[in-house]
Chains A and B, each alone.
Chain A
Amino acid sequence: AQTVTQSQPEMSVQEAETVTLSCTYDTSESDYYLFWYKQPPSRQMILVIRQEAYKQQNATENRFSVNFQKAAKSFSLKISDSQLGDAAMYFCAYRTTSMIKAAGNKLTFGGGTRVLVKP
């Protein structure tokens, strides 16, 4: 079974600075998807970024970028030019690509990292 680990329970960053959140995962599959979701105090989960394992290029969405190291099974999220609105819980998640397998559309989440942004 796949597992996802986020080793940093909480990270603090100064406004306009950069913070990097760590995520490691364990899988025997060669093809899969990885996601970062943001959950602000309102509790609504918002998709931040998505990475397909077969793509070597790291995904980027505006101020959010990932460093995907497939061999190391590492998927970190970098938030640049941090803003007060970035304060939230961030979850790393894994999903297999196979829609035939029983695990098809199931997301496996890490424990989350709380990001605090200081003005």
Chain B
Amino acid sequence: KAGVTQTPRYLIKTRGQQVTLSCSPISGHRSVSWYQQTPGQGLQFLFEYFSETQRNKGNFPGRFSGRQFSNSRSEMNVSTLELGDSALYLCASSVGQGPNTDTQYFGPGTRLTVL
């Protein structure tokens, strides 16, 4: 099976712009979670989508949003970018149907740089 894929792998934006990141889960996985990784804050949970519905949300401002499509692919959007949004954004997928099937498998990440 193909693993989790994320596009683009690298992105450079300027303050005030918005950005959309994409994540394609492992085939058969219906849950997609997003994490932000920075040197200062470490790995932080953004949100989780399952069957096109947000099931879980971390403590991030409303500028961070996401959605999931019927094929389980997910997008994450950050509006009005700030310098502090520079980070590695990781997407993880899992089957999503109960604790025993919910080991998360990660994609390679999107490195976002905000200038």
Contacts and interface: CB of A to CB of B under 8 A. Distances in A.
A97 interface: yes
Report, as a range, how many residues of chain A touch the other chain.
20 to 34
Contacts of B56: 102-106
B108 A43 contact: yes
A88 to B, nearest CB: 13
A102 B57 CA distance: 8
Interface residues of B, number: 29
B107 to A, nearest CB: 7
A34 B113 CA distance: 31
B88 to A, nearest CB: 6
Interface stretch (B12-20, B62-70, B73-81, B93-101): B93-101
A27 B114 CA distance: 36
A35 B94 CA distance: 14
Contacts of A104: 48, 55-56
Nearest to A50: B103
B46 to A, nearest CB: 10
Interface stretch (A63-71, A75-83, A108-116): A108-116
Contact of B105 (A33, A47, A91, A108): A47
B106 A44 contact: yes
Interface in B12-57: 31, 33, 35, 42-45, 48, 50, 55-57
B8 interface: no
A59 interface: no
A107 to B, nearest CB: 6
Given A45-B106, A107-B33, A109-B44, 20 more contacts: A33-B102, A43-B108, A44-B107, A44-B108, A44-B109, A47-B103, A97-B99, A98-B99, A99-B99, A99-B102, A102-B56, A105-B33, A105-B55, A105-B56, A105-B96, A106-B58, A107-B35, A107-B92, A111-B42, A112-B43
10 contacts: A43-B88, A44-B106, A99-B99, A105-B56, A105-B96, A105-B102, A107-B43, A110-B42, A111-B42, A112-B42
